[in-house]
Each structure stands twice: as structure tokens, then as C-alpha cells.
Amino acid sequence: MIYIYYFPCSVFLFVNLMCLCSSSVPGRVRVAVRLRPRNAEESVADADFADCVELQPEFKRLKLRKNNWDTDTYEFDEVLTEFASQKRVYEVVAKPVVESVLDGYNGTVMAYGQTGTGKTYTLGRLGEEDTTDRGIIVRAMEDILADVSLESDSVSVSYLQLYMESLQDLLDPTNDNISIVEDPKSGDVSLPGATLVEIRDQQSFLELLQLGEAHRYAANTRLNTESSRSHALLMVHVKRSVKGRELAHSSQNGNSTNMAKSLRPTLVRKGKLVVVDLAGSERIDKSGSEGHTLEEAKSINLSLSALGKCINALAENSAHVPVRDSKLTRLLRDSFGGTARTSLVITIGPSPRHRGETTSTIMFGQRAMKVENMLKLKEEFDYKSLARKLDIQLDKLIMEHERKQKAFEKEIERITTDTQNQISEAERNYADAMEKERLKYQKDYMESIKKLEEKWMMNQHKLGERKDQTASTAEEVAELKKLLSKETSLRKAAEEEVNNLKSQLAQLKMSEASANSESLKLRKMLEDEAYRKEKLEGEISMLQTQLLQLSFEADETRRRLDRGGPGKVPGGLDSLISQVRPQVNDSVNEEKASIANLFEQVGLQKILSLLEAEDADVRIHAVKVVANLAAEESNQQKIVEAGGLTSLLLLLGSSEDETIHRVAAGAIANLAMNETNQELIMSEGGIRLLSITAANAEDPQTLRMVAGAIANLCGNGKLLDVFDKLQNKLRGEGGIKALLGMVKCGHPDVLAQVARGIANFAKCESRASAQGSKTGRSLLIEDGALPWIVQNANNDASPIRRHIELAVCHLAQHEVNARDMITGGALWELVRISQDCSREDIRTLAHRTLTSSPTFLAELRRLRIDY
Ligand code: ADP
Ligand code: MG
């Protein structure tokens, strides 16, 4: 919550402050001279002498006799003769100052003069016995107390003695070294350590003075001095509140509001009257006759001489006034050259014996008269009381505000309640109105529905009438309908005709299709026939080759015999060849028979030993003989038992002769027909040797032999318990790779052997998988045979195609191969085989395989192929 207060008086205050600052008027130091009457001693001692001074009070002049014939004349502000009353002295010397103090100025009344000239008499007489004797101090206080109001004003005094630069509190003797504090801004001095006693009546003041005097006496006794050696200072603080009317008078703004008036700070005037009874102005004898050391003497007079110097400086308008040289000058800073109204009374005695002192006193007074002060009103606002007033005002305002706030909140609450009531009232009214409106509309709606129904009924009625009118039109429509149905039956007849024609066309197409399939069948039969023919041709060519070889060998033998007889031919073979020779040009059967004879006559062991003969030709002949023997199943067992197979394998590995390679491979192929031999061949590294041979061979016949041998080895499916081992070995020693490597020669015989090998391998793998001894993907696929299989599945040469078709069927029987077959394109071959294969058993196998594979079926479904 924020409170905002206004102070409309602030501007006014500011204006008044400005006024305060500028209220100063010039005021020269006033100096009066007072002559003491001759005392008893002087009356006697100076009886014969004239006074050293002659006063002319009417001219305010003083004539100082220098000698009997010469005088100096001085003018003063007042010249008070020995007959001047205390009252008059007060009135001319002090009263104006006291009045100024009461008006808010500082004022100083000071007595200067030689000891015994009446300074104390002038200032400090109490006049207890005779009131006419009352001195300036008492009279001043009387005037002050008479003028001030004790309710609003205050008068307080301090009473001090300055002796040897030590300031003592005459109202509290324990307080004997009071420090002077100067306000650095205003230059005003104050004595915060001095006792300040408020004066409320004259009697208490007189008692205070007596107390001070008693303390002064005691102090001087203690200090072993006289009062004439010390300065006495009485300070009277008069604080007065300026009356309302006076303030209003001084106000620049006559229209100030009541609020402003009430918040106007009280104006106070603080006048200070300083009454100074100086120490005697006479010089202290430098010899210290009065029991003081020189230092003490100097110190005693320090303040007085400093005062003289300051007054000299001020009188001469000197730039530097040594105010800070002594405590007295610091205390009287405002009295000379300051803002106070100052009145100095110089006291002199009449005695010509003291002319010197009197002269110096007069000169001091003369100089003091030249000192100009700028009187300044000591007026200020009483901000403390204003602050108190404002606090009270603030409290009132806060209370008022809180009261208003509460009232406001109550009002808000009331308004809120009223508003809520009004809102709910309005809501009720609105709801009522809405309901009324709704009912009205409902009624209207029902009425309009009713009207519409009536209208509809009327329309229906009218429509009935119109129907009668349109009867003739209906007849026309019936006629048209008839025409339409006629047209429709004609169209239907035409459609039937078209359908008939279509079915005839379909029948024609079907008969064409059956003719096509018939021709396909015939073509396949033709292909089979061609294949068989090819095979026979192949066999014929092989037999021809063998025949050629035999005739060549026979020629060779003959030539050798003609050249040098049997000595050059190894012994065993000699008889063998001689046995062979008569039959070389005979038929194959005759040859076989001769070989058999040879075998019987020479002995197997001998023939086999020739396989290791030094002579290459002999080795060639020997291997041919062994090959021929191995072609006969009845010889195979014997050859193997006699170590022929081992020898053949050794020869295959050691020889570099292509003929040996071809013939040996053929022999091994024949021996590999037997499953026992197959194991033996493989255990003796036959696959590796055949693979190497295949890699090095160029002759298609050699390759055909090698491929045939490997194909036979691939067909080892009988020993299923060792199947996986053998298959892995076959593959591990590069059998499949060797087969695939041989296809590059392109010879159909070689390709047919490769296809047979692959089909054999796939068949065995399939069996093993079915029996659970083989898991995982086909090794054929692993070794990369699939692309070749797919490429050749529909090979023109029927032996190749048939083997591959079988191989595809075997591979497809295992789901583990399905994914590879799909990606490799074998699925389409399988589909083709199942539909187009000329051999029914293969076709059936393909179809069964295909329909039992979820993967293939899913793929066909995915490709939206109806199978
Ligand atoms: P101071 O204070 O200057 O030393 P005092 O005031 O003590 O001198 O005066 C010395 C003596 O002279 C006192 O006895 C005093 O009563 C007397 N005296 C001084 N002035 C007058 C005067 N104007 N009329 C009568 N007696 C006076
Ligand atoms: Mg005195």
C-alpha cells in the first residue's frame, strides 16, 4: 500500500529560508570610556595633581594630558564620567546589545582596562545592598527575563574563566579544561563541555553568579593568582520562538492554506550575549615580581595580547586576523569582525601615575572603534518540532487513510455482492426469456409442420387429379415399353450368337493347344532320341578312339619287332604284345577278349609293375592295358586288390603326359563305379589328383574322363553313415570346384559328365538331408554351382538338361536352399520343369517339391502367380 502526502508549505519554507540568509546589517563595535572616581588612596596620593584625563561627555570627547601644557583629544561613542550612574552605563553600553540579543542577534559586552579601574564594578556588581549599584550583567538579565516568555522561550547561562589558556567551568569546578568547538561551516564556536544552566528567574541567576564567583575565588586561590589575571566570561543563550503573527508578517505568501500554517515550522531566534570581564590590561613585570615565571607571564597575557593584535588587524582591515592565536580570540571571533553587536567599555583611572596604562587603554578603545561587524540575525526553523508535528500529522493521515481504505473495501464488497445479485437476477431473467422463446419457436414449428402437411395432402390430392389427366400418356409409354422389350430380345439373340461363335473359337483354340502339346511331346521324344543317338555316337567315337589306339599300339609293336626283336621290350610285355598283335585290327569284342587273354597269360602283377617302368612308352602301353582291364567289371576287384588303383593314382600324380592322364583317369573312372573303390580313391587323395589333372588338361577327352571319375565319386550315396564325411571330403579337396572349372571347355561330353556329377551330388545330399545326417545349405550352392545349374537347366542337350533338372529337384527338396534358389532364379526352372519336363517322373518330382515348399509357395503368392 502506498501513501502519498503533500506538503504544500515546502515552497513557503524555502522562501523564508532565503529571507533568513540575507538578514545582516553593518554594525561597528561601539566603545564607551568610563572613568573611575578617585579612590581614597588616590585622593591622598594625587591630591596635588590634576587627573590625567579630562572628559567632555557632551562632545563624547576625552582629553588626555600628556603634560601640563599638552593634551590629546579622543572621541568615543560614549564618555562616562566618574559620576555616571550604573544605570546609565548599562543603558548606553549594554542595553542596545541586550535588545539585539532579544531580537535574535549575538551580542558582546566587554570591559577592558587596567586592574582596579572598575571593569568588574561596571559589569559584575550584584547590587545586593543597593540596587542602584547593580552592574551590567544583573541589569541585562533583568531586561532579558522581563522580555522573554518562559512558556515558549528559554534562557540559559554558562560561566567560565580563562586563565593561562585554560578554560574553566565556574559552574562546575571539576570541569577545568573545556574545549572550544568550531562549526567548520558557519564558524560559530560552542562549548559543548560547559555547564549550561537554564535561568527562569532573577534570584536563581544571582545565586548562580555568586556560586560562580565563589568557584572563581577558590580556583584563583588554588592557582595562586588573582581574579585580575584571568578573564571571566558569562554566556547567556536566549532562545525565542517567533510569535505566529510575527511570522505571518514575515511571510511572503499571504494566501498560505491552513494546512500550510499548521505545518509551518516554528521559527526560533537564538541570541547569545557574551559578557567578558577581561584580565587587567596592565603589563606584568617581566621580572616576575608577582611570583610568576616568565613563561607564566607570557601565558597570562597571551589571550589579551592576541586580542589586541586581532583588533589592530581588524582596525587596519588587514588580510590576516590571527584569531586562532589564543582561546580568547577564538571565543570572541564573532564579537570582533563577526556577526555580533559588540559594545566595549574601557575603564580608566584618573591617576596621572598610571598615565601610560591609561593611554594604552584609550588607544585600544580607539582601535576597537574601527572594527566593523556585520550583524546577522540568528534565526532558524525548529525542524525538530516540525518533524514531531509532521509525525503526528502523518499518524493522523495514516489512520485516516486506513479508515478510508476499510470503508473502500467495504464499499467494494457491497458493490460486488450487489453486482453478483444483479448478475444472477439477469441470468434468471435471461433463462426465463430463453425458455419462453424456445416454447414460442416450438409452437411455431409445430404449426408450420401442420401447415406443410396440409399442403402436402392438398398436393397429393391435386396429383391424383393430374394422374387421370395423364392416362393417355401412360398408354403411349406402354407402347414404347413393348418396343423396348422387343429390341432387348433381339439384342439377347445377337449376344447368344456371339457367345456361340466364341465357344467355337475356344474349342478350336483348345484343339490347337492339344496339337501343340502333342507336338511338344513329339519334340521331346525327338530330343530324347537325339540324346540317345548322341550317346551312342559318343560311345562309338570312344570305341573308335580305343580301336585307333589299339591299332596304333599294334603298329608300334610291330615296328619294334621288325626293328630289333623282343630284347628291347620289357620281358612281360613282350609276350603280352605278341598276344595282342594278331587281334589289333579286330573288333572291340575281339580286343577285349585279347586283353583278357593277355591278362591271363601275363599276369596282373606283371602288368601293374609296368606302370612304373622307366620308359614312358612302356608306361603308356601299360596304363592302356590296365584301363582296358578295368573296363571289365570282373577285373576291377582283382586290379584293386593287386594295388592297381594305387598305382594308377600315383601315375596320375607323377606323370605329365596327357595320354597317361586321359587313360589313367578313364581307368580310375571305371574303378570308381564301385562304392568300395570310391572310398579308397578318396582316401588316397584321388579327388585332389583328379582336380589337378582337370586343371592342367586341355584335351576334352581327358576332361571327360576326369569329369566322369568325379561324377562317379559324387554318386556315392550308399554309405549314408559316412556320407557326410565323404561329401565334405569330396568338396573339401576341390571336387565340385574342379567339376565347375571343367565346364569352360564347353564340350558337350564334358558338360554331360559335370551335370551328372552335380546331379549325383545333389541326390546324395538330398538323401542325407532327408535322413538328418546333413544340415545346412547345399555344398553345391556354397561352392557357387547354382548359376551354372540355372543356366543349363534348360540346356539343348538332353543328357545335360535331364541331369540338371534332377539336380534342381533335389536342391529344391530342402527349405534351407529355397531362399538362395529364389534369388538365383532356380525357382523359375523348377516351375518350368514341373510343367514342361518331358520325363513324367521328373515333372512329378518337381511339382511335388514345389508345392511342398512354403517358401516357394509364399514367393509365388507374393508375385501373384497362380500355381
Ligand atoms: P577592576 O575590576 O578593574 O580591577 P574593580 O571594579 O575591582 O576594578 O574596582 C576597584 C575598586 O574601585 C573597587 O573598590 C570599586 O568599588 C571601586 N570602584 C571602581 N569603579 C568605581 C566607580 N565608578 N564608583 C565608585 N567606586 C568604584
Ligand atoms: Mg575585576
DSSP for 747-777 reads -HHHHHHHHHHHHHHHHHHHHHHHHTS--SS
Question: Is the CB of 81 within 6 Å of ligand 1?
Answer: no
Residue 115 is assigned to a ligand binding site: yes
Query: Which string of b and e fits 91-104 if b means at least 16 CB within 10 Å?
Result: ebbbbbbbbbbbbb
CATH fold group of domain 31-243+265-381: Kinesin (3.40.850)
In Å, how far are 143, 148, 274, 401, 470 from 478, measured between CA atoms? 152, 144, 151, 104, 13
- Residue to probe by mutation, ligand 1, list 121, 123, 129, 358, most atoms within 8 Å of CB: 121
Query: Which string of b and e fits 256-270 if b means at least 16 CB within 10 Å?
Result: beeebeebbbbbbbb
Phi and psi torsions of 109, nearest 5°: -125, 125
Please state which of the ranges 31-40, 64-73, 327-336, 514-523 shows the lowest mean pLDDT: 514-523
Distance CA 188, CA 375 (A): 14
Alpha carbon of 124 to ligand 1 centroid (Å): 10
Residue found under cell 450487489: 418
Phi/psi class of residue 78: alpha, beta or left (left: φ > 0; alpha: ψ in -120 to 50)?
beta
655 C-beta neighbours (distance < 10 Å), count: 18
Question: Is the CB of 220 within 6 Å of ligand 1?
Answer: no
Question: Is the CB of 37 within 6 Å of ligand 1?
Answer: yes
Q: pLDDT tens-digit profile of 146-168?
A: 999 989 999 999 999 999 899 99
Please state which of the ranges 208-217, 409-418, 465-474, 485-494 shows the lowest mean pLDDT: 465-474
Nearest to 98 by CA among 34, 53, 142, 152: 142
Residue nearest to atom 10 of ligand 1 (CA): 116
Nearest to 555 by CA among 581, 591, 526, 594: 581
831 C-beta neighbours (distance < 10 Å), count: 17
Q: What is the pLDDT of residue 20?
A: 45
SS (HEC) of 592-620: HHHHHHHHHHHCHHHHHHHCCCCCHHHHH
Residue 59 confidence class, pLDDT cut points 50, 70, 90 = very high
Question: Is the CB of 354 within 6 Å of ligand 1?
Answer: no
Domain 599-669 sits in CATH 1.25.10: yes
Q: What is the pLDDT of residue 541?
A: 54
Q: Are 140 and 273 in contact (CB under 8 A)?
A: yes
**What residues does each domain of the chain span?**
31-243+265-381, 383-439, 599-669
User: What one-character-per-residue DSSP string does 424-475 give?
Assistant: HHHHHHHHHHHHHHHHHHHHHHHHHHHHHHHHHHHHHHHHHHHHHHTHHHHH
Query: In what helix (H) or strand (E) does residue 197 lie, and over which residues does it extend?
Result: strand 197-198
CA angle 676, 680, 683 (to 5 degrees): 140
Report which ligand 1 atom has the smallest distance to the Cα of 117: 3
Q: pLDDT tens-digit profile of 257-292?
A: 555 556 667 789 999 999 999 999 987 654 444 556
Distance CA 57, CA 83 (A): 11
Q: What is the pLDDT of residue 184?
A: 85
Strand partners, 275: 109, 234
Q: What is the pLDDT of residue 546?
A: 54
Distance CA 793, CA 795 (A): 6
Nearest to 79 by CA among 68, 65, 64, 69: 64
Q: Find how far residue 179's CA is from the centre of its chain.
A: 66
Q: pLDDT tens-digit profile of 82-92?
A: 999 999 999 99
- The cell for 748 is 558337350
Identity of the residue numbered 233: L
Residue 700 confidence class, pLDDT cut points 50, 70, 90 = very high
Strand partners, 53: 64
